[in-house]
Structure 1
Amino acid sequence: MPAPRPGPPPQPASPDLLRAVFRRHAAGVAVITARGESGPVGFTATSLTSVSADPPMLSFGVGTAASSWPAIAGTDHVGVHILGEHQQELAATFARSGADRFGAPTAWREGPEGVPLLDGVLAWLVCRVHARVPAGDHRIVLAEIVVGDPAGAGRPLLYHQGRFTALRD
């Protein structure tokens, strides 16, 4: 086995190191939604993780400084939407600070438990919030799946190297 090639010295832990490493990690793209006191809220998330099959649970991270956090902190239910490669603009809208995320051209409807559901996604879930775990400047939300639909058409949207992209054949 060849010896490892020498490279630059390791970097100490920092927010920049974390961002640099995770730019190399391709992640699926989801939008999390909730009913807020003054209307629907939502944000783009690449931190979606399957946690448990029985009971069916997932997790995602949300920054406590995010505009959606107060609604996520106070709600019992959230919507989780898996985006398709045709939804890069939708992902960008929900990632952009100050955007009118639920205005035209975003197509959505009220779903079970009053959760805003986005149209045209690959799959969606409505989940009951089980816990909000402190994690630095974020909270990890653990949520149990209540109902969903995995039947949307298309291929998944990915986030890699700081941009939305599609799978290559």
Structure 2
Amino acid sequence: MTATPDLGTPRLAAAEPSSGASGAVDPSALLRSVFRRHAAGVAVITARGERPVGFTATSLSSVAAEPPLLSFGVGTASSSWPVIAEAGHVGVHVLGEHQRDLAATFARSGADRFGPATGWRSGPEGVPLLDGVLGWLVCRVVARIPAGDHHVVIGEVTAGDSSGAGRPLLYHQGGFNGLRD
């Protein structure tokens, strides 16, 4: 066992956008403010339901190599959640910087995400697979963990393709961006 030094009681530093009239810090606003400064890769998560569903995610994370596990968060108020909550498999698509419009479509509430402008096909396990992505994975859902107004979904990789070309799309400061040299 490794000893951990006592780091004291965590304190929230006052941040201008999150301080109320009383000077109290709103932890939710503080979290959003800090994470606007955190660049994250952009992915689209899809699943097969009565109709295909999907949403843009910036919470994609590798969890383990053996077995190959990943995670992502999905809001329980999301129109995709009822299908994700029951799906046995999901598709995970890493977007390229040329796919800003696709990311925006899957992020927009009420958008026709699988309409004529979206190139896709049915893949392994019937999961909707998007065309032109940098890479895609099909994952068997192994856990759905409640986390506030979201669920963290853990998936085990069962199929995929990493042969897409291009540079990754990033989300930073409230917008979609590419890498700069």
Query: Fold match, TM over 0.5?
Result: yes
2:23 is the alignment partner of 1:22: no
Once the two structures are superposed, residues 65-111 of structure 1 have per-residue CA deviations (whole angstroms, 9 ceiling, x without a partner) of 00000000000000000000000000000000000000021000000
Aligned counterparts, 1:127-146, within 5 A = 127-146=139-158
Give, in angstroms, the shift of residue 18 of structure 1. 1.0
**C-alpha RMSD of matched pairs (Å):** 0.8
The 5-angstrom pairing of residues 117-128 of structure 1 reads 117-128=129-140
Match of 2:14 in 1: 10
Query: Larger relative contact order (C-alpha < 8 A, sep ≥ 6)?
Result: 1
Give the structure 2 partner of residue 47 of structure 1.
59
Task: Name the SS for the 1:21 alignment partner.
Answer: helix
Match of residue 6 from structure 1: none
Counterpart Cα distance in 1 of 2:136 and 2:180: 24
CA distances 1:97-129 after superposition (whole Å, capped 9, x unpaired): 000000021000000000000000000000000
Question: For 2:165 and 2:112, how far apart are their aligned partners in 1?
Answer: 26
Structure 1: gaps of 5 or more residues: 1-8
SS of residue paired to 1:165: strand
1:13 CA displacement: 4.8
* Structure 1 or 2: more strand by fraction: 1
What SS is found at the alignment partner of 1:87? helix
TM-score after normalising by structure 2: 0.87
Rg larger in structure: 2
Match of 1:80? Answer: 92
Q: Could you tell me the percent identity over the aligned residues? A: 74
Q: Counterparts of 2:135 and 2:144 in 1: how far apart (Å)?
A: 24
- Does residue 106 of structure 1 match 2:118? yes
Aligned residues: 160
* 1:68 paired to 2:80: yes
CA distance in 2, matches of 1:143, 1:124: 13
TM-score, with length taken from structure 1: 0.93
Structure 1 runs of 4+ off > 6 angstroms? none
Partners of 1:68 and 1:14 in 2: CA distance: 27
